[in-house]
Amino acid sequence: MGAPDGERLGPYHLLSTLGAGGFGEVHLALDPEGRTVAVKILHPHVAADATALARLAREVETMRLVQGPHVAEVLDASLEGAHPYLVTRYVQGRPLSAVVAADGPVGGGDLVRLARGLAEALAAVHAAGVVHRDLKPANVILTDGGPVVIDFGIACALDSASVTVSGAVLGTPGYLAPEVLEGTGAGEEADLFSFGATLAYAATGRHPYGMGPPSAVGYRVVHHDPDLEGVPGWLEPLLQECLRRDPPARPSAAELLDRLGAAGPAVHAVIPRSRPPSSAATEVHDAAGARELGTREPGRARESVRAQEAAGTRGATGAQEAARAHRATLAREAADVQDTALHEAVAGGTVQELSTREWRPGRRPAPGRPSAEEARERRRAVLHRRWVIGTGLLVSLAAATAREPLPEVSLLLLTTYGLATLVDGGIALFARRNRSRAVVDLACGAGAVALWAVLGTFFSTLTLALALGTVVFVLVAILMAS
């Protein structure tokens, strides 16, 4: 068990528990300068292995050399005492495993950024001479700035007999390279295998070697091919190379990063930025159709290309007709993939050229739809009617209640309301903007006097007082509630 929250562990003040893994329990903490850090307290069975701790102590200084925006740097470590711990940069985000489980596979531009970020992280780790050994979706944190890899080097440093027996290293065999499962060693190539498996899970939402008992999954890793169905075409060849059983046949992290940098523009070329905005949607449609025809029906795609070449030999008029026919064919064939292409383009941030109609002063609104100024005037008129009518009802009831005991007050209320409506109606008539407002004011003034006379004639003062008190109570309750 780690130290409980609220206590101090060395110079660090533990705030809350973030989670637990195969090697330890992670706490959010404050360093002596008040900055947030992540403190990983090693599990007792790990802390009890002197050989593993000695190896980790030797590796910590090397691990502290790893720097980069996509790695959680090791800041400090204390491997002595009752609670050995490591301190890393605190990364605020969600694990890739939780994101895929909740939101589904990662696609479009998000997948490109994830692939590049993981490749950059492995390149930084390997450049420092460190092997991650435990790269998996749970050790990839997705943040606003891209993916961040955590726990690099810990699994490799803590690989010893007692720790392995506890199951800490073989926690997720579907993401460990075959040579790791067979016990023949783990180098940088093992991280590339884990990279391919992690990215395959992100792109498809499925574990590339399935689920089940660890022994069954490990057997499939060693003897079967991964499940890459649903991986985008630009990414599948890279993952196939990374998931090769022969370690030397896998690319290095630097080679992978170079290839991803070259593949990125092809992914984002769904909408060419050099084309005018008016043709952007058409280019998305045509590009999606061409891609779908080229991948699913290469024969039909070749026929379309041959049709274009033949059209070019028949002159300008014939070429235009053939081009129109070709675009119509592509549109029909690509109808089922247009939505997918648009989604990928939006996710990749490549639909910036699509123009939208912006409202500008003087532009006419759509037919049958009022302008913003007209809508505001209608709203003002509704509020005015409600205020004048409601005030008239309240004044009439109050004046009728005071008619017998306080006739002067009754007359004052009616006179004040009548003058207010006359002034407001006169302003509306003088401005010549809203004659209906003047009509409403005059009608309400006359109606208030008529209602005062009716209420005072047919109801007693006590009844009117009770009604007035009820109305006032309701109004106060409404005001307080609002």
d(CA 205, CA 227): 11
In order of 141, 154, 254, the CA distances from 114 in angstroms are 10, 22, 16
40 is in an annotated binding site: yes
Give the integer Cα–Cα distance in Å for 467 and 446: 22
The pair of structure tokens assigned to 229 is 């169905």
DSSP state of 348: T
| Cβ contact 401:468 at 8 Å | yes
Distance CA 139, CA 22 (A): 11
Question: Exposure of 338 by Cβ count < 10 A (0-12 exposed, 13-18 middle, 19+ buried)?
Answer: middle
If one counts every other C-beta atom within 10 angstroms of the C-beta of residue 358, the result is 6
Q: How far is CA 58 from CA 52, 54, 168, 187, 308, in A?
A: 10, 6, 20, 17, 66
For the chain, the C-alpha Rg in angstroms (whole number) is: 37
Two tokens at 237?
């060849």
Enzyme catalytic residues: 134
| DSSP SS3 for 230 | coil
User: For residues 122 and 191, is the Cβ–Cβ distance under 8 A?
Assistant: yes
φ/ψ (deg, to 5) at 342: -65, -40
Q: What is the DSSP string of 196-223?
A: HHHHHHHHHSS-TT--S-HHHHHHHHHH
Strand order in the sheet with 140-143: 94-95, 140-143, 146-149
Cβ burial, residue 266 (10 Å; 0-12/13-18/19+): exposed
Q: Concatenate the DSSP letters of all residues of 136-183 into one string.
A: -GGGEEEETTEEEE-STTHHHHT-SHHHHHTTSGGG-GGGS-HHHHTT
SS3 content of the chain, % helix, strand, coil (to 5): 60, 10, 30
For the annotated binding site for ATP, the residues are 40
